[in-house]
Amino acid sequence: MPPVQQQIDVFDRKILEILQRDNTTPQRTIGEAIGLSAPAVQRRIKRMTEEGVIRANVAIIDPVAVGQTITIFVEVEVISETAEQIEQAKREFATAAEIQQCYYVTGEADFVLVVVVPSMADYEALTRRLFFGNNNVKRFRTFVAMDRIKVGLGVPI
C-alpha cells in the first residue's frame, strides 16, 4: 500500500526550492537557510522521497558535451487510439534512449516527443524504427531546435 501523502508545508517547499537548484546541498546548509536542524531536513527529504514528491536525484547532462548535438520535437499522430495500442506506443517511446521526454496529448497530435540525437542520420534511423516500422503511426511532424533557450524540469514551488 502506498504511503499516505502528507501536506507539503512551507519548510518542505523551501527544501524543494533548494534541492531543485542543487540536490547536493548539504542538509546542514539547507537547515541553516530555512531555520531547521539537519536531522529535521533529513526526515523531511526522506518522507518526500518515499511519498514520491521527490521523484529522482539525477545529474543533468549537457547533451552537446556527450555528442547529442541535435534536439528535435516530434508530433506523432496514431491511426487507432484503443487503450491497448496507446499503451503499446507509450511503452515503445518510453524505452527508446533517444527520446528524452514523451507526452500523450490532446489535439491533432497524440504524442509529443523530445528527441536528442548526434546527427540527422541517427534521427532518420529512429524514424524508420519507431514510425515507419509501426503500422499504427499515421503521420509524424518534426521540428528541429535551432537553439536551446531554456531547458529544465524545475517546478515552480
pLDDT band at 4 (very low <50, low <70, confident <90, very high): low
For position 67, what pLDDT does the model report? 94
pLDDT in tens, 106-139: 999 999 999 999 999 999 999 999 999 888 999 9
Given a cut of 90, whether residue 2 has pLDDT beyond it is: no
Residue 47 · residue 9 · CB < 8 Å? no
Grid cell 543533468 is found at: 60
Q: What is the pLDDT of residue 6?
A: 67
Average pLDDT, the chain: 93
Over the stretch 28-59, which tens digit does the pLDDT of each residue have? 999 999 999 999 999 999 999 999 999 999 88
Distant-in-sequence, close-in-space partners of 3: CB < 8 Å, separation ≥ 6: 50, 51
Q: Residue 47 is placed in which grid cell?
A: 518522507
Q: What is the pLDDT of residue 1?
A: 45
Residue 153 binned pLDDT confidence (cut-offs 50, 70, 90): confident
Residue 124's alpha-carbon distances to 87, 130, 153, in angstroms, are 24, 10, 27
In 3-state terms the chain splits into helix, strand, coil percentages (rounded to 5) of 40, 20, 40
